[in-house]
Amino acid sequence: MSRAGGTAAVERAAEETETGTEAGPPAARPLRVRNLTKRFGGLTAVDGASFDVEEGSLTGLIGPNGAGKSTTFDCITGVRRPDGGSVHLYGEEITGLPPYAVAERGLVRTFQIARELKEMTVIENVMLAPKDQRGERLWRSVLPGPRRAVIEQERELRERAWETLEFFEIDHLAEEYAGNLSGGQRKLLELARALLTDPHVLLLDEPLAGVNPVLEEKLLGRIHDLRAEGYTFLLVEHDMDVIMNNCERVIVMHQGRVIADDAPAAIMEDERVIDAYLGANV
Amino acid sequence: MGVSADRLSARLPGGDGALILAVFLALYAGFGLLGVLLGLDANGLASTLQRITFFAAVYALLALALNLQWGYAGLFNIGVAGFMAVGVYTMAMLTAPTDPGTGGLPGLGLPLPVGIVGGMLAAALVGALAALPALRLKADYLAIVTLALSEIIRIVYNSTSLRTFSIAGVDLGTGGSQGLALPTNPINALFYSDARSPASPPTALGEAAFGLFGAAGVQHTTVVDWTYTLVLVVFVWLFYRLLSRVGNSPFGRVLKAIREDELVARSLGKDTGRFKIKTFMLGCALMGLGGILWQGSQSYVSPNNFLPILTFYIFIALIIGGSGSNTGSVIGGALFVGLLFEGPTFVRRLVAQQIPLGDAPDTFVAAVEPLASLDVTPLLAYALGNLASLRFVLAGVVLVYFVQTRPKGLLGHRKEIAASVDLSERPNRPARADGGERR
Ligand SMILES: Nc1ncnc2c1ncn2[C@@H]1O[C@H](COP(=O)(O)OP(=O)(O)OP(=O)(O)O)[C@@H](O)[C@H]1O
Ligand SMILES: [Mg+2]
């Protein structure tokens, strides 16, 4: 589907390898996190976390409950202001930027608890997402002449919106209010919505939680399709099998720190990881 | 009120337009009947209906402007009266003659259209001034800031030290508590050769209109007032169209998302603060224009026209109709004026005419005491004699009723789709059987 987004990410990477040196050495990295720290009162939820995400990869981010994964996402996307450290997106520092500015630069996230807009229909939800909509200018959506151009663009977007819903196989729900969707369908909607912003990098916070196995297969299939188109994914997931079977690299967090960052097979063997999970389970 | 008016509008052919028309016809029928019972003549009836329409229209204008802020974007503005005042005063000060006669106040002497646009811009700017710092804080702060600002504005216009003043050699004046003369109503120029004097000979149009309606017993001033009122009705339509366009557009979609879950909108790349500021400023500009159109029917304006109670009334109109719905705003304006604002006055006149009530007792105790001997007349007389307070109580009761039992207003909760095109229209695609090759 959405050719625009997929190829854009690839082109962007290509562009940056050509002009590479300009933005400094790690320019082509979609995401570079260094010493990220976030404290809630006395609790350090993220404690100097550092990691990279490679272009076009599907990277897993795992860790026991409360390890600081969601908080890391919040700090990267500007939902929370980190107390320390830095975040770079394609070499550009985005630390502490407001969420809309981060999203505008091509980094979009989904939420652990789906935040669908309940009183808007599914198609309305996804139509919200595309960037640079002409009609988001007040005067354009009001004045007769410019409004024609707005309507024209809305038609194009509507087409893309329907295609995206078809891609996620929720097009039969297009006119349903999002509040009436099942948990799994909400997750699909969130992902569809995030994709329509034409992102380069997607941070998915437990997109499979509450999704039934059939839908889970489908969703993973979609993620692989998109990755093949050049999107970069960072995926938080509790199901080890999913992580091991789908990610080429896994970052493990524990008590706010990154304790391992390796290929899935190596992670399985890692003493610290086993301890962290065992420790958390006792 | 048990039946949802929303279902009613679905059943009426013509939808919302028909619903609004039906409400107005019902009001006209009601007040027509009251007028006939009161024994009003043709002019009295025409002037009654004009008054109802006029106030219904101005409340509709202001409720629509408030709906944009509160209903669409959830911005809680309880300083509506202040923004109206800024609109009216700025317009008046821009258009007042530079060298007024004795007793007049100096202004900039600009043409009326410039004054009106200036008034709207000023209201929008004051709105931005209030909203810029407040929107950074929690939503409640905007409410506090706007309420305070509206009182500050009124007190400033009331202040003696600004009765006349000069900035950079230009003389200006607000008139203090005595108020300020307003420019001549341009509608007068349609009917009278000298717009400033109804005693002057009528124009050709005036001649024809006065002749036509005069034959039915309708006086000249009623004809002129009705014309002005019809202009207001056209403005209600314009406001309605404008706000429907705002709502049914990508801009309106973002507002809807902000009201539901602002973080979602922000996480999808929408700079929500800018959307809110723009919405707030547009709403304030429309409130300024609403104020100008309202007070434009008068020859002068004073700070007492902009007491906080006015904001309260506009909120009631909006809440009756249902915030979030433009149709609801218009209907709410009409019902508020008909049932709460003008209705009681007419009922009082009718009761006073039909039942000899005698002198109203001075105190509440004196009014209630005779109830012991089953004599309700003194209480009735007391109630009707204190109608202004009674109306206030009535408004409060209605407000409590709606907030308690129908928080979404008469029209119920409306979920209009925010888009400029029909989103259910699916792009054409060949059947799956053809190998799925698309384009
Ligand atoms: N708003 C907050 N205020 C205070 N503490 C918080 C807040 N949000 C998270 N925390 C704490 O920060 C720590 C990290 O939480 P976080 O949600 O990031 O973990 P997580 O790895 O996403 O866990 P899970 O797998 O359960 O989603 C936890 O101890 C949590 O209780
Ligand atoms: Mg989490």
Q: Flag whether B32 is in a domain.
A: no
Report d(CA A24, CA A4) in Å as an integer: 27
Shared-domain flag, residues A152 and A270: no
Specify the pTM. Answer: 0.88
Q: Flag whether B58 is in a domain.
A: yes
Closest residue in A to B279 (Cα–Cα)? A138
Nearest to A59 by CA among A266, A273, A261: A261
**Mean pLDDT calculated for residue range B299-305:** 91
**Mean pLDDT calculated for residue range A68-81:** 96
Shared-domain flag, residues A21 and A68: yes
Give me chain B's average pLDDT, please. 86
Shared-domain flag, residues A26 and A38: yes
Percent of chain B with pLDDT over 70: 91
Instruction: Domain of residue A99: give its range.
Output: 3-116+184-279
Report d(CA A75, CA B8) in Å as an integer: 50
Shared-domain flag, residues A32 and A53: yes
pLDDT tier for residue B432 given thresholds of 50, 70 and 90: very low
Q: Are the C-beta atoms of residues B223 and B216 closer than 8 Å to each other? A: no
* pLDDT of B391 over the 90 cut: no
CATH number of the domain that residue B73 is part of? 1.10.3470
A208 to chain B, minimum CA–CA distance in Å? 19
**DSSP run (H or E) holding A252:** strand A249-254
Q: Which residues contact B393 (CB under 8 A, 6 or more apart)?
A: none
Report d(CA B316, CA B63) in Å as an integer: 9
- The reported pLDDT for the residue numbered B141 is 86
Who among B251, B252, B427 is closest to A159 (CB)? B427
Closest residue in B to A80 (Cα–Cα)? B263
On the CB side of B150, CA atoms within 13 Å amount to: 25
Report pLDDT digits (tens) over B158-193. 988 888 787 777 778 888 888 888 888 888 888 988
* pLDDT of B24 over the 60 cut: yes
B74: phi then psi, degrees, rounded to nearest 5: 70, 25
Place of tokens 């007028």: B35
Report pLDDT digits (tens) over A54-72. 999 999 999 999 999 999 9
Sign of CA dihedral A112, A115, A121, A126: negative
- The reported pLDDT for the residue numbered A10 is 43
pLDDT tier for residue A3 given thresholds of 50, 70 and 90: very low
Report d(CA A44, CA A82) in Å as an integer: 11
Helix/strand/coil for A181: coil
Nearest to B236 by CA among B67, B71, B47, B73: B67
Among the listed ranges A142-151, B68-77, B280-289, B379-388, which one has the minimum average pLDDT value? Answer: B379-388
Q: Flag whether B403 is in a domain.
A: no
Kindly state the greatest CA–CA separation across chain A: 67
The residue out of A180, A199, A214 marking a domain boundary is A180
Q: Which residues contact A63 (CB under 8 A, 6 or more apart)?
A: A69, A252, A253, A254, A276
* pLDDT of B248 over the 60 cut: yes
Shared-domain flag, residues A176 and A206: no
Whether chain B has a CB inside 8 Å of the CB on A112: the answer is no
DSSP bridge partners of A32? A52, A88
CATH number of the domain that residue A59 is part of? 3.40.50.300
Which residue, judged by its Cα, is nearest atom 4 of ligand 1?
Answer: A40
**DSSP run (H or E) holding B181:** strand B180-181
pLDDT tier for residue B9 given thresholds of 50, 70 and 90: low
Q: List the Cα angle A28/A30/A33 in 5-degree steps.
A: 110
- The reported pLDDT for the residue numbered B25 is 95
Report pLDDT digits (tens) over A109-161. 999 998 999 999 999 999 999 998 999 999 998 998 899 999 999 999 999 99
Pocket-testing residue among A37, A38, A40, ligand 1, by greatest number of atoms within 8 A of Cβ: A40
Q: Flag whether B357 is in a domain.
A: no
Q: List the Cα angle A206/A211/A217 in 5-degree steps.
A: 95
* pLDDT of A191 over the 70 cut: yes
Strands of A4-135 (E only): list them: 31-40, 43-53, 58-62, 84-89, 92-93, 107-109
* pLDDT of A246 over the 60 cut: yes
Mutate to test the interface with A, among B72, B251, B263, B413 (most CBs of A within 10 A): B251
pLDDT tier for residue B12 given thresholds of 50, 70 and 90: low
Whether chain A has a CB inside 8 Å of the CB on B271: the answer is yes
Shared-domain flag, residues A91 and A217: yes
- The reported pLDDT for the residue numbered B11 is 57
pLDDT tier for residue B32 given thresholds of 50, 70 and 90: very high
Shared-domain flag, residues A196 and A175: no
Segment 223-252 of chain B within 8 Å of chain A by CB: 242, 245-246, 249-252
Report pLDDT digits (tens) over B127-148. 999 888 877 776 678 889 999 9
Q: How far apart are the first and last CA of chain A?
A: 45
- The reported pLDDT for the residue numbered A17 is 43
Q: Flag whether B398 is in a domain.
A: no
Shared-domain flag, residues A67 and A194: yes
The residue out of A165, A180, A195 marking a domain boundary is A180
Q: Which CA distances in Å does A162 have to A119, A156, A196, B438?
A: 19, 10, 11, 14
Question: Which ipTM did the prediction report?
Answer: 0.87
Helix/strand/coil for B202: strand
Atom of ligand 1 nearest to the CA of A253: 21
Shared-domain flag, residues A37 and A139: no
Q: Are the C-beta atoms of residues A204 and A110 closer than 8 Å to each other? A: yes
Distance A67 CA to ligand 2 centre (A): 8
Instruction: Domain of residue B83: give its range.
Output: 41-305
SS3 content of chain B, % helix, strand, coil (to 5): 70, 5, 30
- The reported pLDDT for the residue numbered A4 is 43
Going by their DSSP bridges, the two strands A92-93 and A31-40 should be labelled as unpaired
Q: Flag whether B258 is in a domain.
A: yes
Which residues of chain A make contact with B424, given a CB cutoff of 8 A?
A: 123, 174-175
Which tokens in the block code for residue B6? 């929303």
Q: Flag whether B204 is in a domain.
A: yes
Report pLDDT digits (tens) over B91-120. 999 998 888 776 678 888 899 999 999 999
More confident call, B363 vs B126: B126
**Quick one: residue B414, left, alpha or beta (phi over 0 = left, psi -120 to 50 = alpha)?**
beta
Shared-domain flag, residues A168 and A206: no
Distance B104 CA to ligand 1 centre (A): 68
Report pLDDT digits (tens) over A195-210. 999 999 999 999 988 7
- The reported pLDDT for the residue numbered B13 is 62
Sign of CA dihedral B263, B265, B268, B271: negative
A6 to chain B, minimum CA–CA distance in Å? 17
Query: What is the number of the ligand closest to the CA of A45?
Result: 1
Among the listed ranges A155-164, B227-236, B252-261, B361-370, which one has the minimum average pLDDT value? Answer: B361-370
**Mean pLDDT calculated for residue range B390-414:** 79
More confident call, A11 vs B206: B206
Which tokens in the block code for residue B69? 């802020």
**Mean pLDDT calculated for residue range A164-175:** 92
Which tokens in the block code for residue B374? 């089953």
Shared-domain flag, residues A63 and A175: no
Q: Flag whether B387 is in a domain.
A: no
Q: Do A109 and B267 touch (CB under 8 A)?
A: yes
Atom of ligand 1 nearest to the CA of A206: 27
Q: Are the C-beta atoms of residues B383 and B293 closer than 8 Å to each other? A: no
Q: Which CA distances in Å does B337 have to A104, B8, B31, B312, B391?
A: 47, 22, 12, 13, 11
Report d(CA B223, CA B203) in Å as an integer: 14
Give the amino acid at A215: L
Q: Do B249 and A163 touch (CB under 8 A)?
A: no
The residue out of A130, A151, A180 marking a domain boundary is A180
Mutate to test the interface with B, among A1, A116, A138, A152 (most CBs of B within 10 A): A138
Report d(CA B302, CA B241) in Å as an integer: 31
Q: How many domains does chain A have?
A: 2
Report d(CA B47, CA B52) in Å as an integer: 9
Shared-domain flag, residues A52 and A110: yes
Q: Which CA distances in Å does B293 have to B235, B283, B303, B307, B338?
A: 9, 15, 16, 17, 20
Q: How many domains does chain B have?
A: 1
Q: Are the C-beta atoms of residues B63 and B333 closer than 8 Å to each other? A: yes
B97: phi then psi, degrees, rounded to nearest 5: -60, 150
**DSSP run (H or E) holding A250:** strand A249-254
Which three-class secondary structure string do you get for B329-356?
Answer: HHHHHHHHHHHHHHHHHHHHHHHHHHCC
Among the listed ranges A258-262, B49-53, B400-404, which one has the minimum average pLDDT value? Answer: B400-404
Report pLDDT digits (tens) over A214-226. 888 888 988 999 9
